[in-house]
Structures are given as structure tokens and as C-alpha cells.
Structure 1
Amino acid sequence: MSLTTESPQPRRSRQERRTRAGVVFLAVGLVLLLVLAFAPAPYVIRQPGPAFDALGTTELKDEDGEVVDEVDVIGIDGAETFDDDSGELSVMTVNISGNPEYHPSWFAIAAAWLTPEKDVMPMELYFPDGVSTEERTEQTTAMMTQSQGTAMAAALEHLGYDVEPSLTVVEVSPDGGAAGALEPGDVILEIDGRPVSDHASLTAEPLEERPTELLVFRDGEETAVTATPRAASNGEALLGILVEEGFDFPVDIDIELGDVGGPSAGLIFTLAIIDKLEEGDLTGGMHVAGTGTMSAEGGVGPIGGIRQKIYAAHEIGAEYFLAPEGNCAEALSASVSDELPVYAVATLDEALGVVDANASGGDLEDLRTCEDALQANVPQV
């Protein structure tokens, strides 16, 4: 009987082929993984941005990024100012990495997920369909302009100045009833003898399709014009104008913060304006950071990105942080919040109370921290 045995050579060849195939598959997998890692992702990364001392100066840059001037963040004319504050009032910002023209890679997204001070957000949250980077910038710039106006109004009202609201025409439809009568820049004072100063008073009485007398402030003087509202598709008679609410200020205040946009600097702007117009050292030489929108009536509203701002405030050495009450839960989610006192504020008066107590070394026990605000909102069972 004869036995047949398989030659060792074919066995080795099959093993070598398997090994080579495994190496090839591994190499292809690594290449695909690398390609995926650096492929664009439909997300943006929200991260801490720079801080600006509202009591200090800022650099103005040209289109090439070259510094052309250095000016006060808040400049005031028409009233006595006091620049004796030795502390800081820091405006906190966030940076958004990513836009419709540039998507972060999956590798960058994964790294951001693992970084406590960064957030990964869906692209459409910041850039809805059809909104370009330029349009988004225009929106945030308009928000900043509006926040500056309400901060000025709140500060001046607090200091006892008379601040009058105003309604300015920013656009006139060429097919609207006001075409040829109203112009961009006109401040509407009256409609048919009825005083107008804001959206509420503008729409308080419906217009009719008939010649309507308007009194406007144009080129430094009051001017009477006549316009005939036209019916819209819903039957409502309209002038066909776009208006913007503003204020007539008794003091000339200019705020410069470069290309920073959004409404979240309102609270700190308000405190800084008060500090400059009121004798004394508002901060008591302390470094104060904070954020929040500001209404003309003195209300503090929530903002986005407070976790990033808490991390940045801790990094620059702020001694405490002013946070909108509505942002307290997110603020305390920052791991450094136990090293940085975070006070909850709902109004300008409450914010001033926090700053005064800290500056004077007063009793801090009666101040609301974010922990206090959250506990107060927990349902009792």
C-alpha cells in the first residue's frame, strides 16, 4: 500500500498568499479609515474664543489683518467720564470652526468630542439651508449692533438719563406705498398725527388705502411726507417699508469690538458704560467676566456657548462670572465651574448687586449662585 502526502511547498504557498491578502486588506482598510477621518463632516465645532476688556482698548485691523489703530472699546462724548476703575469687565466670546464652504474633518470632530471645552453642533444649527457664511456674518453683526443699542439704553436709563425710542426706515420697497415718499434713514415720528416710536406704536392702528401723512426726521430736520399704503396679499394695507427700532441718546456712545458678532455682550457693555459714566470703582479692582443679552428695560437673557465662556474666563484668571439665570445648568456643566464662582443674574440691578458686594467685600451669602438658582427651580415633593 502506498501513501501519498501533500508537498510542503504548496502548503507554504497558500499560507503566504493568505498572509499577503491579509496585509492588502489591512492596508486598504487603513487607507479607507484615513480617507474617512479626513473627509468633511456636517458639523461645526464650538470652542472658547478671545476675551475683551470692555474697560480697555481694542485693535482695529484692515482687510489684510494689519493693525491700523487702537481705540477704547467704549468711547463716550457729551458727558463727563471716569476712568478710575482698576479692574476688568471681560466680554467673553466663542469661535465656530466650520461653515458651508469649509466642513471640519471627522478626525477634527472626534478630537473635539473628546475635549471638554469644545462642543460639536450640527452644521444646520448655525447655517440653515440656504444661509451662506456671509449672510450669517451679516446676521450676527446686526445682533451685535442691536445689543449695543439696548446696552446703552439700559445703562443710561439706570443713570437717570431720558432715553427716547425711535423707529428708523432701513429699506423701502420700490413697489410699496411709501416709494418716493420715505427714504432709508428716515426716523418716523408721526403717522396721521399719531406719535410713533417703536413697532408696537407703528402697528397699534391699522393703515388704510388712502393718502397718509407722515412726519419724519430727515437730514437734521422734521419733514412732512404723504404716502398711500397698498393692500398686501392678505388684504392688509402696508407702507412697504422695513424698519429698525433704535434709541435717541442724550450721550454719544461708541462701542468697538472688531469683528465680534452676536448679542451676548449686552450685559458687560451695560456695566462698562455705567462704570465709565459713574464716579467710583465699580469692580473694586477685581477681574469680572460675564455674558448675557440685555434689554432696554434691564432684563438679562440667555445666550449660547456659556460652557466655552466659563472655561475661557477661568483660563484668563477671572475672579467670578455673571451668568444669565437661564444658562445656569449648562454653566455648571463646565468642569472648572467649581473653581470659579458663577452667579445667576436675571436683571441689571441683580448684576450690579453682585458686582457691588464683591467689590466692597460685603456679604456674599445673600447673592444667588447658579447652584442656588437651580435648586430653587427643583419641584418640591
Structure 2
Amino acid sequence: MRKKIYIGSVLLFTLLLIFGMYYSLPYYVSKPGMAKELGPIISVEDGYKDEGNFMLTTVRMGRANIYSYLEAKLMKYEELYPLDMVLYKKETEEEYNVRQLHLMAESKLNAIEVAYHKAGVPVHYKYKGIYVVQVIPGMPAEGKIKAGDRIFKVDGHEFPSSEKFIEYVGTKKAGDQVTLTFSRNKVANTVTLNVKQFKDDPSKVGIGISLVDDKEIHVDPKVKVKTDEIGGPSAGLMFSLEIYNQLTEEDLTKGYQIAGTGTISEDGIVGPIGGIEQKIVAADKAGAEIFLAPNENGVKNSNYRAAVKTARDINTKMKIIPIDTFDDAVTYLKQLKQK
């Protein structure tokens, strides 16, 4: 009898453990990720080598289960975020992942453009179509178009931007049809959809997709940026510095281990990111000596101020440097003494 009770208790305990592991709570958990050297990730054809390293920093982000929720409550540098702080309205987790991967792709394009322009090398773009990042429930595209699809023709017409696509569809009336030609997993497809009024704004019509431009950059010398499944735009600054460093003879690293974070715009403006505290922890663990942090023009709650506070809290020797633009970062690095 006791043996049966023991076996039953073990089975019940095992089931509870499994339940706690796979039961999703309405939160995301973020925690320190890694600081990864960019040399093996970015390769400029016949580019110059560096003595030190530029490193991107990451945050580990995932849906909370019971255990990760409790861990985040106990650990200082783990954060909980309600779903509506992470996902757009009516956005699915699949669409969120697609959006993050596209943001990374856009970040790479901006970084290449900024670095090549700074190095005095021409940059050319080829427009490839419209990249779908979200499908709105209850609209005609639902079930027909998916996040990640690339639309390259509408009614047989090609458009030079997503803006022109929106203008064209906007000239239609509710009930009119549009035929989309799109690719999914490198296979071309066509679908005909009725245009419908938006519930939130009946004065506008559409098929119910959120989209961005899909473009390809052409440069000489060529550059390869391999990011695999890393998502988000926060590595833009560090990408641009690594690319520029390989394009120019002077080594900006001066032999140091340099981590950092921040988005990069086409005109070289460095923008704030989430999870700066976790990234400071990750960079310190990886042995970074310098950390470049978005300064946000000195606002009170800037990434830079949060980074300085975290650096003091973990008692790191890593220097935290405020950066507003790509040029700021280059200027700072040029004045570094050779290690």
C-alpha cells in the first residue's frame, strides 16, 4: 500500500513539475544574455583586422512559465513584462518573432549604410517589395497572408515603396478586389482579396496587413553579416563600428574589448534600447573593458544613466561611455591610447 502511495506521489509531483514548466503566464521574462564578438559575425571583403574586439550584447527574452516567473521575482537583474508591453495590439507571438527578425535586418542595413558612407564608399539599394510584419484579425488578409511574406506585385504592378502600395490600395472602394503576388519560403504565390473598411477607421479601406519596405543593399567591397536568429535593432551601433573598422586602416579597438548597444538610424543617430541593465551584466561577465551606451542627449532616464547605475551596483571596472551618434563613438575611440 505504501509503495502505491509513494509511486502515486512521485507521479503527481512529476506532473506538477511538467505543468509548471509548460504552463505559460501572461508575462515575458528578460534576463542577461551574452556579449558576442563581432569579428566572426561580420566580414568585409579584404577588410582590415583588429587587435581588440567589438561585441554586441543581448538580452534573453521568453514567455514566462511558473518557474521563470518566480525566478524573476527573486533575481535582481531579471525583469517581468506584461504581454501588452511586448506585443502590439492583436499581434501573435509568431508575428512578434518575425518583427524582431525584420528589425534586425533593418538594423544591419542602416549599419552598413552609415559605416560605408563614413568610409567614403558608395551605397546602392535595390527595392524588393513589401515585407509583412502583422496580419490584422477579421480583415481579408487573415488566413491568406502570413507575417514574413514578401509582396512584390499588386494587380500586376510593382511599387517603389510600401507607401505607394498603401496609396494604391487606398484608392479602392470596399468590396473591390486586389490580386497580390507574394513569396513565402522562396515560393511564389498569388491571392485575390476583397478590400474592406477598417473597424477602427471606417473612412479607410485595406486588406489588413502591417508592412515595411523590403530592400537589398549593394556595396563594394561586399560585406556579410551573419546573425542567425538574433532579433531586434539594438546591435545597430556595434554593427556599424565593426564594419567601419574593417573598411578603414586605423584600428579603432586599440586592443580593447569594447561592448555596447543602441539602435542606429540611416543618418547615424544612436537610439535607446530595452534591457540596458541586463546588457551591462552580460558585458561585464564577458570581460568587456568599455561599454558604449545610448546617451539620448542627456535626458534624465537615459540608457547611459541606467548603465552607470548598474555598473556601480555590480562593482565593475568597465568604463561606461555616453554616445549620441556614430560620429561620437568614432571620435571617442580615435582618442583612446593604444593598449
| 1:75 lines up with 2:43 in the alignment | yes
Write the letter of the residue equivalent to 1:244.
Answer: D
Q: 1:302 aligns with which of 248, 256, 272?
A: 272
Cα drift, residue 358 of structure 1: 2.4
Pair 1:336-2:336 in alignment: no
Match of 2:82 in 1: 122
Name the aligned partner's letter for residue 352 of structure 1: V
Pick closer, same or farther for the CA change 1:243–1:42 going to 2, 3 Å.
Answer: closer
Report the CA distance between 1:134 and its aligned residue.
Answer: 2.1
Q: Give the SS at the match of 1:354.
A: helix
The two structures have a TM-score, normalised by structure 2, of 0.67
Evaluate the alpha carbon distance shift between residue 202 and residue 297 of structure 1 in structure 2; reply closer, same or farther with a 3 A threshold: farther
Asked if the contact 2:51/2:254 (under 8 Å) is kept, the reply is yes
The question of whether the paired residues in 2 share the 8 Å contact of 1:285 and 1:359 is answered with no
Change in Cα spacing, 1:232 to 1:81, as seen in structure 2 (3 Å) is same
- The one-letter amino acid paired with 1:142 is H
Percent identity between the aligned chains? 28
1:200 positional shift: 7.7
CA distance in 2, matches of 1:332, 1:255: 30
Give, in angstroms, the shift of residue 360 of structure 1.
4.0
- Matching residue of 2:36: 52
Q: Evaluate the alpha carbon distance shift between residue 92 and residue 359 of structure 1 in structure 2; reply closer, same or farther with a 3 A threshold.
A: farther
1:333 CA displacement: 3.4
Q: Which residue of 1 aligns with 2:253?
A: 283
Residue 115 to residue 333, structure 1, CA distance change in 2 (3 Å): farther
Deviations 1:327-366 (A, max 9, x none): 12322331236532111101000011222222447xxxxx
Conserved 8 A contact 1:166-1:187: no
SS of aligned partner of 2:273 = coil
For residues 204 and 350 of structure 1, the distance between their equivalents in structure 2, rounded to whole angstroms, comes to 39
* SS, match of residue 314 in structure 1: helix
Structure with the bigger RCO (C-alpha within 8 Å, sep 6+) is 2
Q: How many residues align?
A: 270
Q: Which residue of 2 aligns with 1:217?
A: none
1:319 alignment partner in structure 2:
289
Q: Which consecutive unaligned segments of at least 5 residues does structure 2 have? A: 1-12, 133-140, 145-150, 173-194, 297-302
Distance 1:347 1:199, change over 3 A: farther
CA distance in 2, matches of 1:44, 1:243: 25
SS, match of residue 333 in structure 1: helix
Give the 3 Å change call, closer, same or farther, for CA 165–204 of structure 1 in structure 2: farther
The alpha carbon displacement at 1:74 in A equals 1.3
Q: Distance in 2 between matches of 1:120 and 1:257?
A: 26
Answering whether residue 338 of structure 2 is matched by residue 356 of structure 1, we say: no
- Counterpart of 1:87 (choices 52, 60, 67) is 52
Which of 40, 53, 70 pairs up with 1:110?
70
Answer whether contact 1:266 1:294 (CA < 8 A) is retained. Answer: yes
Structure 2 vs 1, CA of residues 337 and 153 (structure 1 numbering), >3 Å: closer, same or farther? farther
Please give the secondary structure, in 2, of the residue aligned with 1:152. Answer: helix
Deviation at 1:128, TM superposition (A): 4.8
- Residues of 2 paired with 1:167 and 1:348: CA distance? 26
User: By how many angstroms is 1:284 displaced?
Assistant: 0.6
Cα deviations by residue, 1:91-114 (Å, 9 ceiling, x for unpaired): 1001013x2xxx421x54233223
Cα RMSD of the aligned pairs, angstroms, is 3.8
